[in-house]
Chain A
């Protein structure tokens, strides 16, 4: 394919060889016939609005000063849209038009084509500046701070009208400030409205290329020789991509738009540096290659080699602690060392944050050495600035990666940086830009591979992260240069991610209230929602500080680059707001129950296990509360909404019961269990248990429930499994089967019949 393009280029160069000094083309010169259409296809005549045409066009040229190029690339942008308004909703939505034009030649034109064909030009002088945020659809790709937005109320806009607008902007991109890669475009070709015609077009000067990939059936980028201008010294090559007859976006649960719909990624890149005398600038080309792993290596290897005072401090305290514990014989193998390193780093970091000099803003947002130094310098100048300590803080991922790698290396354990493609964006082969990638640490022991993310207060060692589920990536090693290899990310199972609730219940004598004692237990991903609330009073800090206490030693080093901050270390933490936090926790827990049930009273909360230690950290707590509106009368008998106790279950909509259009991307596999023991009131029998006994079990998931009366107890148990994090859409009926069973159970009732 590349050869064909090259031959075409040669031919075109020859035919246009007489053009020594080509003039760059302009944007918005050609209006395609598709933009004259007034009728929409019958299949879309009942839709709110239809995009008749949309075109986005860019021209990238280099500014010259004398004979030399400057470092500035001029980008001309042209956006043209034509939309048919077919109902009141669209009329209202499009009645205010927001726009941005950049550069002194920036211009907006807007016209309405009435149903009778009359064209009405809107006077854009009536537009007013909008200082507030504007709807996302109107935001420009080349957003810059300080851009002025405008808005205009569109007069006389009626259902049946066609709106037709275009925007022209000029953006001067200084490569010294912004780099040689221009803003990347990543989007689905499916829009909110069905689209009859859409075109994306680039014209690039010499020395540029467009990195382009289409996915899920998106059409390819083609060269437009007619629109290209060729010269001996300078050429402007045009590329475009066409898409027609595109249905609007379909929203489905558990779906990633970029993985399920035709989508494209592209970015124009300046190939050469800004010295034309030293390099030959070739004609612009299309680059359809995969991401280059050498580039990945170069970009990411430094992420775990980033020494700062904070890193030094974390490592120094941790190394000393680990050495001591090793000497005491408490760390028996690499797995113990890796885990305890992680927890000790976390303790030191939290101690620095809650007692010492680490500032949330510094640690959270520090993204470069320059910035870090600048902030430190600023801090030296000012008095030490104090701030409120938040309940949750996450360590910067570069600080973490370097600290963990260094601390483990000092124990003879090598770690790697795992660079991966986030699931929602695609598989590794779908990666086009380095910016799409992210990283965590990977540490191998004899027993297993640990994927370890920068921690927050509550993460447990090697705990599961749903965004890492089933990703693909490369591991970068640090024991020798240029070491990297492809490897899959972790996948958790439904046994790893468990939410279990054990109820013990009794009706009041009046049979209107149920008193409940409930023990809730969470592991893996299932912990994430409640672990912060359950630990709100920060009691865990006492445990951390005591468990990983290390008396002050000789951690300080004299060399500036190895500087270590002295921490006031102690075995306890006195939270000044503890009482308030305890109250707040109870209120939040109460609120959580109210989401599912009609709560009569919330009485007690007791944290049994904070879910922050060990390999399979479990969050566990006990609550007592009472519920109302679970029982209704029916003559002498009572009807008990037993199914409600398992909490709200997904109810699929009618259309979901019938079909699934896209593959199924769940965050992770998981298990949800409920075990309910109810005291049967004296003088009553339980009837109608049949419909509480269900068993749907397939390769995608399961809903299994049992209900039985044993003596004076009614025992109900349910188990809902999501067995995978992904399935092809063909397997959707499996989901319908177990989800519907779960919903049906949640609505089930039993009869307490008077003997």
Chain B
């Protein structure tokens, strides 16, 4: 992911407050505290009301960087502490195209109080430099139940940057209102996302020249990030404000009415990148020399960019949308997704291929290009059209093969440049089989340990992830790191004789062969041996508490295929093998079995997770699935001495 409307903006919309035209009277709300404590347990502060009021104005003489239409969002919040004398803390985001003004807090006596404000750049580990700023705002609250008013304004100098409105906040809200005051000269489309089941009331009233559209949501719990939460755009209700056109002096002027307009703006921004292809020639010639087929040449360029151009993102101002020139990226050997896509395009064009810049929203975003908004995408790749087939090249995806696509872009719609026109297409969506992890091992009992050999095969995401982690390790730590990876954190496993995998062939799986010892998996009692044949027990611990607030996102679609053969020791026979188990749903499945082959026991297990996101509503059935899996896991093979 590499463009402006990723973290800061979404956070802004998610956390910031608003304003209201009428002043709020200060009230003692201590009578509500006991009911709020029940409704919103573990919270220290409640927003009794939280209103965003959006208004628009024409900018008759826009200065550079300003649009013809401006927007103001006024935030007003009535904050009520449910504990005595705590400090209220908030974070406000802003950037070049949007300022935060008139931040105010009013105490229960109606007096303005001093706000501690600490502002600076917003730090995101994935972005080297951006214009996103962050203000930490703090002020003390008084006794519980006494309300404070907190206000501020967001001013957009160009309405195209006004996009998402989220209802949830970092604290619970008793009444959440988002109000749009749309003048008759403006054509605005308010697109609703994830509204289903949200019980959001919508009203529309025309007052003179203004149409007032109000969304009201009551008793909202706070938003909390939890490990493996999907991006909140995927599950939390929100509105995207699409400003299609405005009329000025009797003339109708288009803003973002359709994807055509969005593409038009992107094209304008990318029109003056300033590429100098001549400066890439030597490098391209070197990379394609000796390569016979088109695929070999494209692969050579694509892989070189993956391996040699470091990902460093700049997102200041227009650079959030405009790629750096190809020759700069080549010279610096760093760039962000746009820089890498543009470099790929120019290098491939020099080699004679039809390569194009391509916009895409990753799997973090639930939109497609029926939404003409800057919020629709957050990433850029390069598309090569060869013999009528499109190949999508993501220069930021390390170690991925040509014609293979990372989970995060699979199935997503793409907007491909085509001169004055554009092409819409879609990245192929692969089944979980693409990410198959296959292990074939053979084990035997050696006193109180299991000794064995194993061959692991990694494909798709599991392969690129392994390679990325391995490559990022310090050289001197690589061997230990690989052993630890194969052990999967199990201290009972001792890995030895690892054959270093071959990482160069991107089109092939990575295979790792090794020997191992498994301690504490064998129990000998009298003439019996109890053997645990599966100690990895994938997913056995992945159960969800009722407390979890968010959906769960798996790293990727999983496909495990495990085969283990246990050699029955001389003088013993198989006394007991666990019963087989099979469970299959469209989203996930498990199949496990033990087979007595006389001199050996063969264990087979296949687990498939087809869908990368598990919804909260699916947690109960998933937990039941895990319980059944555990029932299967918690059974062991018994060998008995032959009489």
Which residues of A are interface residues toward B (Cβ below 8 A)? 46-48, 86-92, 95-96, 128, 130-132, 151, 153, 155-158, 385-389, 512, 576-577, 580, 583-584, 598, 629, 631-635, 637, 639, 651, 654, 687-688, 743-744, 747-749, 751, 753
Contact = CB atoms under 8 A, between A and B. Distances in A.
B541 A651 contact: no
Contact of A153 (B331, B334, B575): B334
A128 B129 CA distance: 8
Interface in B119-153: 120-121, 123, 128-129, 140, 142
Nearest to A641: B520
B96 interface: no
A47 B474 contact: yes
6 shortest interchain CB distances as A-B pairs: A635-B576, A155-B332, A48-B474, A747-B520, A651-B491, A632-B634
Interface string B84-117: 1111000000000000000000000000000000
B519 A747 contact: yes
B220 to A, nearest CB: 21
Contacts of B331: 155-156
Contacts of A753: 525
A157 B530 contact: no
Contact of A687 (B41, B519, B525, B576): B525
B475 A747 contact: no
Given A577-B83, A688-B525, A632 B475 contact: no
Given A89-B473, A687-B526, A153 B312 contact: yes
Interface string B614-634: 000000000000000010011
A702 B639 CA distance: 35
Contacts of A47: 474-476
26 contacts: A48-B474, A88-B472, A89-B475, A92-B310, A96-B128, A130-B121, A131-B120, A132-B120, A153-B128, A153-B332, A155-B331, A156-B331, A158-B333, A385-B140, A386-B142, A387-B87, A576-B84, A580-B37, A629-B634, A631-B634, A635-B638, A654-B494, A688-B525, A749-B530, A751-B530, A753-B525
B492 interface: yes
Contacts of A598: 541
Contact of B334 (A155, A388, A632): A155
A633 B636 contact: yes
Contacts of A131: 120-121
A747 B530 contact: no
Nearest to A577: B83
A581 B576 CA distance: 51
Contacts of B494: 654
B471 interface: yes
A584 B41 CA distance: 11
A743 B494 CA distance: 15
A386 B84 CA distance: 9
Nearest to A89: B474
B366 interface: no
A452 to B, nearest CB: 32
Contacts of B576: 634-635
Contacts of A584: 42
A515 to B, nearest CB: 18
B511 to A, nearest CB: 22
A95 B519 contact: no
Interface in B492-533: 492, 494, 519-520, 523-526, 530, 532
B553 interface: no
Contact of B476 (A46, A155, A512, A632): A46
A114 to B, nearest CB: 12
Contacts of B520: 744, 747-749
B343 to A, nearest CB: 14
A130 B540 CA distance: 45
A47 B474 CA distance: 7
Contacts of A389: 85
Contacts of B635: 632-634
B578 interface: yes
Interface string B442-475: 0000000000000000000000000000011111
A90 B85 contact: no
Interface in B348-396: none
A634 B474 contact: no
A687 B528 CA distance: 11
A263 to B, nearest CB: 23
Contact of A639 (B37, B84, B86, B636): B636
B216 to A, nearest CB: 30
A639 B475 contact: no
A55 B129 CA distance: 30
Interface in B397-445: none
B523 A639 contact: yes
Contact of A387 (B85, B530, B630): B85
Contacts of B472: 88-89, 92
Contact of B475 (A87, A633, A687): A87
Contact of A86 (B85, B475, B525): B475
B8 to A, nearest CB: 14
Nearest to A748: B520
Interface in B557-579: 575-576, 578
A95 to B, nearest CB: 6
Contacts of A751: 523, 525, 530
Contacts of A747: 492, 519-520
Contact of A388 (B42, B83, B526, B638): B83
B207 to A, nearest CB: 44
A156 B630 contact: no
Given A89-B475, A92-B310, A639 B530 contact: yes
Contact of A90 (B120, B474, B492): B474
A91 B312 CA distance: 13
A387 B140 contact: yes
A233 B67 CA distance: 69
Contacts of A95: 310, 312, 334
B636 A157 contact: no
Nearest to B531: A634
Contacts of B634: 512, 629, 631-633
Contacts of B524: 688
A635 B636 CA distance: 8
A86 B41 CA distance: 53
Contacts of A132: 120-121, 123
Contacts of B334: 95, 153, 155
A88 B474 CA distance: 8
Contact of A157 (B129, B333, B475): B333
A90 B471 CA distance: 11
B83 to A, nearest CB: 7
Contacts of B636: 632-634, 639
Given A629-B630, A637-B530, 13 more contacts: A47-B476, A89-B474, A95-B310, A128-B129, A387-B140, A388-B86, A580-B37, A598-B541, A632-B634, A635-B575, A651-B491, A688-B525, A748-B520
Contacts of A629: 540, 630, 634
Contacts of A92: 310, 472
A631 B310 CA distance: 50
A468 to B, nearest CB: 34
B575 to A, nearest CB: 7
A88 B467 CA distance: 12
A112 to B, nearest CB: 11
A651 B474 CA distance: 23
A746 B524 CA distance: 17
A95 B334 CA distance: 9
A584 B578 CA distance: 42
A637 B576 CA distance: 11
Contacts of B633: 632
A151 B128 CA distance: 9
A105 B403 CA distance: 54
Nearest to B334: A153
Contacts of B85: 386-389
Contacts of A688: 523-525
A132 B636 CA distance: 54
